[in-house]
């Protein structure tokens, strides 16, 4: 079943039941729409787009931060047969223009916060974009744009009747760009529907569940986890703003049962509890049955602490990537807390291999590149045959991640291939060192990169973010590092914030640009 058909079915079955709630704690506002309204808004946008000349195969940019309108817009675009192109809300003007040009997008739907960025590149965008639709207050409506709120509230609300099949193209998702220039991942309706099945199979959502959505919807992670609730017509809450108190308030007041967190947010909640900033007795949390994490390696020490605080919750780790239609191609599985640290086993309908440089399967225990095969594998990198041929080999997707299998066939993510540090001929995987330092009570976050060394080629540098109110100096860090093998101990310590993108991944290229400047005497740059 197509995801557009699932929405229609939800509107028929759960007509006046709540579908989406939007909470903005900073403003103290709360909005709610039913499944009927959700479906009708999607249809109204679809009719408008088709009247404006959008047809099957056209591309529509969706440049919006999380909000109530985000998902109705997404489904409205899909119902025209056009490709939805969700963009990272942190993209600067140049990246927005580049993505629009790559997609040759005909329409751009954008929020208030993007007015200035669009103004800087409007002439460039106009080479492709013929229609602009604005999501924001009337007094900020640009003269060149149409108001989204009028479109969603007026006009025909029935299904536009576009004929779609599973193999039709549905979306272009641009990769996060943490390892270089974003690439356009081409996904089909079959890919999107498979994500619904995988998420539901793994976490068993029922109509009574309620999912708290905090990460950005433009990314496959948050939306594809929401798909599990969507498949059974269950309510979901979109929380705009992140703080331990706001998360716990939303879980308590909305009776949320499933929360997908990023590593930094889970850390923040535990720290807030530890420091007495929040008191769990002030919240109703007994219905919270599942906390799961994805988008980045998860320090085992974090989950050990979490389970001590929330012993009755199920836990799962989900591995995925945009090229595999988001999370779930590998997951730990509820009840496998004894394997915390592993990313788990292949998800429903998925296969995996760990291979050497010649793509030959490796025996258990040996580290190699992780390959995936399954229903969510992308069609291609759009307009990029060279990168497509590198990534897709005989039906297998090369992830670029280094992994190994243990004696129980559980997969352990070692690190990104591009983040490998080679020092004096020894291979060092930064995530192993990062996990080690995350066990220190004074450390909030850590990132490990390689920096040039004239003798060893590279040496380990650790960027340490200390918890608020705690103190650490270089000697403290190096004393703690005695627990690591000598060749893995950092030679350079940098005390700084660890930059992460909206999906929680460490932005290592940003750290390299900041700290590796090519100076002959680069060590003077560090603590």
Per-residue pLDDT of the chain (527 residues; tens, 9 = 90+): 899 999 999 999 999 999 999 999 999 999 999 999 999 999 999 999 999 999 999 999 999 999 999 999 999 999 999 999 999 888 889 989 999 999 999 999 999 999 999 999 999 999 999 999 999 999 999 999 999 999 999 989 999 999 999 999 999 999 865 445 789 999 999 999 999 999 999 999 999 999 999 989 998 888 999 999 999 999 999 999 999 999 999 999 999 999 999 887 898 899 899 999 999 999 999 999 999 987 666 778 888 899 999 999 999 999 888 999 988 999 999 989 888 888 899 999 999 999 998 999 999 889 899 999 999 999 999 999 999 999 999 999 999 888 999 999 999 887 666 677 877 656 777 878 888 898 898 998 999 888 877 656 678 899 999 988 898 988 899 899 888 888 788 988 999 998 887 666 788 778 888 887 543 344 444 44
- Check residue 416 and give its pLDDT: 65
In angstroms, what CA-CA distances link 261 with 30, 267, 291? 21, 10, 7
- 70: closest CA among 54, 51, 89? 89
SS3 for 113-159 is HHHHHHHHHHHHHCCCCCEEEEECCHHHCCCCCEEHHHHHHCCCCCC
Question: Which residues, other chains included, contact 25 with Cβ-Cβ below 8 Å and sequence gap of 6+?
Answer: 239, 240, 241, 243, 246, 249, 250
- 268: closest CA among 299, 298, 242? 242
- Check residue 507 and give its pLDDT: 82
In angstroms, what CA-CA distances link 141 with 42, 103, 200, 218? 21, 25, 40, 23
Q: Which residue has the tokens 């390299």?
A: 512
Tell me the pTM. Answer: 0.83
Contacts 24+ apart (CB under 8 A), 507-516: 507/178, 508/178, 508/179, 508/419, 508/447, 508/449, 509/178, 509/179, 509/180, 511/447, 511/449, 511/463, 512/449, 515/449, 515/451, 515/461, 515/463, 516/449, 516/451, 516/452
H-helix or E-strand spanning residue 21: strand 18-24
* Residue ranges covered by each domain of the chain: 420-525
Side-chain half-sphere exposure of 323, counting CA atoms within 13 A: 21
- The answer as to CATH 3.30.300.30 being correct for domain 420-525 is yes
Tell me if 202 sits within 8 A of 315, measured CB to CB: no
Side-chain half-sphere exposure of 94, counting CA atoms within 13 A: 2
d(CA 310, CA 333): 17
H-helix or E-strand spanning residue 402: strand 396-405
d(CA 271, CA 257): 22
Q: Say whether 30 sits in a helix, a strand or coil.
A: strand
- 324: closest CA among 386, 397, 405? 397
Would you give the DSSP letter of residue 384?
-
């Amino acid at each position: 079943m197509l995801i557009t058909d699932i929405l229609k079915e939800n509107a028929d079955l759960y007509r006046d039941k709540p579908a989406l709630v939007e909470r903005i704690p900073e403003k103290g506002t709360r909005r709610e729409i039913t499944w009927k309204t959700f479906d009708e808004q999607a249809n109204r946008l679809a009719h408008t787009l088709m009247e404006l000349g959008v047809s099957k195969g056209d591309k529509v940019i969706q440049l919006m931060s999380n909000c109530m309108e985000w998902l109705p817009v997404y489904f409205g675009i899909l119902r025209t047969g056009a490709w939805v192109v969700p963009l990272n809300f942190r993209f600067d003007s140049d990246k927005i223009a580049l993505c629009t040009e790559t997609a040759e997008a005909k329409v751009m739907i954008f929020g208030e916060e993007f007015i200035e960025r669009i103004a800087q590149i409007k002439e460039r965008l106009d080479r492709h974009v013929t229609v602009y639709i604005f999501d924001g207050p009337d007094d900020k409506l640009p003269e060149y744009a149409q108001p989204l709120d009028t479109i969603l509230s007026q006009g025909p609300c029935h299904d536009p009747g576009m004929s779609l099949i599973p193999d039709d193209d549905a979306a272009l998702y641009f990769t996060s760009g943490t390892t270089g220039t974003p690439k356009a991942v081409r996904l089909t309706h079959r890919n999107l529907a498979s994500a619904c099945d995988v998420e539901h199979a793994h976490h068993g959502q029922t109509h009574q569940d309620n999912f708290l959505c905090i990460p950005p919807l433009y990314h496959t992670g948050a939306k594809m986890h929401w798909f599990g609730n969507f498949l059974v017509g269950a309510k979901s809450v979109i929380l705009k703003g992140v703080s331990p108190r706001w998360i716990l308030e939303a879980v308590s007041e909305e009776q949320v049962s499933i929360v997908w967190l990023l590593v930094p947010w889970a850390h923040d909640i535990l720290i807030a509890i530890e420091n007495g900033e929040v008191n769990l007795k002030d919240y109703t949390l007994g219905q919270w049955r599942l906390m799961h994490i994805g988008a980045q390696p998860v320090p085992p020490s974090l989950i050990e602490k979490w389970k001590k605080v929330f012993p009755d919750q199920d836990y799962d780790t989900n591995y995925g990537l945009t090229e595999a239609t988001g999370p779930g191609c590998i997951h730990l599985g509820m009840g496998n807390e004894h394997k915390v640290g592993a990313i788990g086993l292949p998800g429903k309908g998925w296969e995996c291999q760990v291979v050497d440089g010649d793509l030959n399967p490796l025996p258990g225990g040996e580290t190699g590149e992780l390959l995936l095969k399954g229903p969510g594998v992308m069609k291609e990198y759009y307009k990029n045959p060279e990168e497509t041929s590198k990534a897709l080999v005989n039906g297998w997707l090369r992830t670029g991640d280094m992994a190994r299998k243990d004696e129980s066939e559980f997969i352990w993510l070692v690190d990104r291939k591009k983040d490998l540090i080679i020092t004096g001929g020894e291979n060092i995987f930064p995530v192993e060192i990062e996990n080690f330092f995350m066990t220190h009570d004074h450390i909030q976050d850590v990132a490990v990169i390689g920096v040039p060394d004239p003798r060893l080629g590279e040496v380990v540098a650790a960027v340490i973010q200390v918890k608020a109110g705690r103190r650490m100096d270089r000697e403290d860090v190096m004393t703690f590092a005695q627990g690591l093998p000598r060749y893995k101990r950092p030679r350079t310590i940098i005390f700084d914030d660890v930059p992460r993108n909206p999906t929680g991944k460490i932005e290592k290229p940003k750290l390299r640009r900041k700290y590796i400047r090519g100076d002959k005497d680069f060590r003077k740059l560090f603590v």
